[in-house]
Amino acid sequence: MRIAIVSDTHSRYATVEAALQLIEAKKVELILHCGDIEDAETVWLFPGNTHFVFGNCDTERASLRQAIYGIGATLHEPFGQLELDGVNLAFVHGDDHELLNELAHSAKYDYVCHGHTHVAAEHRTGPTRVINPGALHRARPKSFAILDIPSGAIEAVAME
C-alpha cells in the first residue's frame, strides 16, 4: 500500500491541486493530511480516501468537519491512528509537542507522521520512524512524502 503524507496546505489551492495530480500519478491508495488545512474549500479538493487531523491554524473547525464529511473522508481528533497491512501508524499536526513526543516514544507505532514545522525530516525514535513530509506552503521546496508500506521506502516529493 502506498500512502501520501501531506501537511500545511494553508488554503493554497493551486499547490494542492498540483500535489494531488502527482499523488494520483504515483498510484497512491490513501492520503494522510497532517493539519493546517485552513478552509473548507481546500478540503473539497481532496478525494474521499483522505484522513485528516486539525492543526493550529484550523480555526474554522465546523466548516472543515462538514467538508470532510461531505467528501466522504475521515477526521481524527486529536490524532489519527490506523493499522494498514499489519503496520501501525499515527499522525498528528505536531504543534502539541507533548502529544507528538508521547506518540513517538510509545513504541505502539511503526510510523508517526506530523507537520507543523514546514521542514521535511525523518528520524527514528526507538522502533518508530518519525516522518515530517514538509509543507505545501511557506517551504522551499514545497514537499510531501509517499510511504510504501510493504517495503518501508519513503519517497520525498519536492514541488516547485
- Residues 101-147: tens digit of each pLDDT: 999 999 999 999 999 999 999 999 999 999 999 999 999 999 999 99
CATH number of the domain that residue 96 is part of = 3.60.21.10
Residues pairing with 84 in the sheet: 87
Domains held by the chain: number: 1
- Using one digit for the tens of pLDDT, what is the confidence trace for 54-81? 999 999 999 999 999 999 999 999 999 9
Cell numbers linked to 39: 478552509
Q: How many CB atoms lie within 10 A of CB 40?
A: 18
Arithmetic mean of pLDDT over the chain: 97
Percent of the chain predicted with pLDDT > 90: 99
Is the per-residue pLDDT at 4 higher than 90? yes
Phi first, then psi, for residue 87 (nearest 5°) are: -110, 130
Give strand pairing partners of 131. Answer: 113, 122
List of residues 6+ apart from 46 with CB closer than 8 A: 16, 20, 31, 33, 71, 73
The domain of 7 spans 2-159
